[in-house]
Amino acid sequence: MSRCSDEDTRPTTLTVFVAVSGPSYDSEVVGAKLAARRFKSLISADVNEETGGIGWWSVYPLWPTQRAELSHYFVSIVGAVSTNLDESAAHLHHYRDRVGAENQHLTHRHQAAGGRVPDLRHRTELERLRLVMVRAEQAAFFRSIGSVLDTLAGVVIATGALKMDLLKADLGQLRVGSDSPLYPRIPGQAGGSLRRALDRDGTAGGAAQESFMQSIRAAVTHAGPTGWLQWTLGTRNHFIHRSRWMDLLVRDWPNRRKLPVWVRPLPRSPSAGEGSSLNNAETVSDSYLTEDATTTMEGVLLSVDAVAKAVFECSSSLWALRRSDPFLLFQPGTQWQGQEYATQFAGYRPDTALAAFQAADAVVLNPVDSARLAALARSKERRL
């Protein structure tokens, strides 16, 4: 995998986060969470309460409130990567537990049926709930993974000073799946938005962005099997936007003297309609992956962990370079346009908790958040 600097910024000790009794629920992503924490501390150290926002950004033609709000969101989105990683790991942990309980129940039903496939058409309410929880944790895992990838895109956009709306960041904008040798300056209409987001070709800033983006693309390529990212994003969209495929349950029982293994494969082509995929398949394995969903989900989480660590490593290197030469790249105002915050929605029972707000006389924050809010307040004072 392409490295961004000679200094190895990867964590050297992971045992701090591992319980004595065995791996903790987030053991697969502890490295990425640590990398996020380190990068958040790095950029937070540059937040200046007096100037409002990241101090060395004051040389850029940004309005004070724009700089303060953009700085605040930048720090926040780094924290969001860690939060989404944490939730992804938790959903996978719960999925393993739910599947384990369901498999145990299926095996019991299998034995009661004398080794025949049990009749699962009629389930009790508890059995239906158990199956729903398996599906829910699987869907929640991929939704969280999608959130990790999109918030990572936000980190790349902010660190790389790309001319894109930070609030609308998603990984698809960065075209990291492109195999163009000219990446990130992909020719043609497909690469137009990314090309326009870069500094001019031939400039030192443009070259820094190109190196930055190429390193991240290399990290994505090496983080998993061919096509892993496209499949993962397609599966996330499948759970959010598409109709669900049938739940496929395969019994693996090669040795009759041992208990059967229950396999729940995921769709091979999640972006396609189920009917179209099955209609064009010669065998079921043409439409479904030939591995259990747990195996696939564990692999996805490890791939995303690897990408996240690379993004933060590359971002740390570019951040240090930009800090030493603030005029290398200008933080574009297009990253933070005038944001809509007005809404007519006031809740379902407005003011039922108003007394608690009025009685509150203190807010407890960690030092990093306190500094960010102080910078926001200072920018508001200047505006007034």
Report pLDDT digits (tens) over 249-281. Answer: 888 888 887 888 889 999 998 888 777 887 787
Position 222 scores a pLDDT of: 97
In a domain, 314, yes or no: yes
* Per-residue model confidence as pLDDT tens digits over 172-228: 999 999 999 999 999 999 899 999 999 999 999 999 999 999 999 999 999 999 999
In a domain, 224, yes or no: yes
Q: Which of 371, 369, 331 has its CA nearest to residue 159?
A: 331
In a domain, 174, yes or no: yes
Q: How many CB atoms within 10 Å of residue 216?
A: 26
In a domain, 248, yes or no: no
Give the least confident one: 84-88, 91-95, 97-101, 275-279.
Answer: 275-279
How many domains, the chain?
1
Dist. CA 143–CA 25, nearest whole Å: 18
In a domain, 270, yes or no: no
In a domain, 360, yes or no: yes
- Provide the sign of the torsion angle of the four alpha carbons 272, 274, 278, 280, taken in this order: negative
Residue with tokens 């070259």: 207
In a domain, 163, yes or no: yes
pTM: 0.86
In a domain, 337, yes or no: yes
Position 99 scores a pLDDT of: 95
In the predicted model, is pLDDT for residue 116 greater than 70?
A: yes
Range of the domain at 352: 15-236+299-383
Position 16 scores a pLDDT of: 43
